[in-house]
Amino acid sequence: MHTPSPQLLRALRTSISTTSTATLRGSLRTSTPISRITSPCAAISNTLPSRRHNTTSVSRPTRMIPRSHSAKPTSHDRGPTSNESTQTDFAALNVLGSVPPPTTAIEATLDDGFHLDNGLRVEGGDGLLLVGGEAFAWRPWEVTAGGKMGMVNKKGQFEVDEQVWGLLNAVWPRPDLLVIGMGATMVPLSPDTKRHINSLGVRVEVLDTRNAAAQFNLLATERGVSEVAAAMIPIGFKGR
């Protein structure tokens, strides 16, 4: 067997190199580019709905309408009257409904006085003192230095002379509670005045005159006029 000539070996090398280059080019044409290869994670993300920029999504939250903006009922009719024996009679729940109010109950609070249920009228700017079922005209500013302006101290507290409460010291038995109406607005009670009233064995509650009158009417009806007293300053009173 003869050794291949150099020309034959060169031709074989040329043929092999040309074939491998053509095969590589063909494989590159038929292969998928790296940038286009779809990974499993990408496939999963493509199947999930995107809600970040989807304004027409069905799961868009519904705007809640406040109750005050909802439509109000056009009728107060609750239907036919119930004939059930178990229905609640709310009128029967008023335990004081059959109890007559005291004759000294305050019917109206005026700018310069008061009207009582017994027909008595306190006018002319007088205050009102209700103790033991009796009504008295009350002018505490006449025994206080400085008149009406002197009833409120520098700290903005209601402070009067002890003589103002002399009637509470004279009656027996003394009331358990004194309701004080301070006028159009409530003024705090000074510690000295509160301490003196408490020393008589009487508790004290301070309100503006309108609320104090309602409180007295309720408590006097419930507990009796011997247990509850009231000291009222007219609404027109200005302590400052």
Look up the CATH number of the domain holding residue 122. 3.40.1230.10
Answer whether residue 114 is part of any domain: yes
89 to 82, 83, 170, 218: CA distances (angstroms): 11, 12, 46, 22
**pLDDT for position 75:** 74
**pLDDT for position 35:** 46
**pLDDT for position 1:** 56
* Predicted TM-score of the model (pTM): 0.60
The C-alpha atoms of residue 55 and residue 23 are separated, in whole angstroms, by 52
Cis before 191? omega within 30: no
Answer whether residue 60 is part of any domain: no
Contact in structure between 112 and 236 (CB atoms under 8 Å):
yes
**Rg for the chain, CA atoms, rounded:** 48
Answer whether residue 42 is part of any domain: no
Contact in structure between 233 and 127 (CB atoms under 8 Å):
yes
**pLDDT for position 66:** 61
Q: Which domain holds residue 160?
A: 99-232
Give SS3 for 195.
helix
Query: What's the number of domains the chain is made of?
Result: 1
pLDDT tens digit at each of 240 positions of the chain: 566 677 777 777 777 766 555 555 555 454 545 444 444 444 444 554 555 555 555 566 666 656 656 667 677 776 777 677 766 666 666 655 666 778 899 999 999 999 999 999 998 889 999 999 999 999 998 887 666 667 888 898 999 989 999 999 899 999 999 999 999 998 899 999 999 999 999 999 999 999 999 999 999 998 999 999 999 999 987 654
The C-alpha atoms of residue 212 and residue 185 are separated, in whole angstroms, by 11
Answer whether residue 47 is part of any domain: no
**pLDDT for position 62:** 64
Answer whether residue 10 is part of any domain: no
Answer whether residue 130 is part of any domain: yes
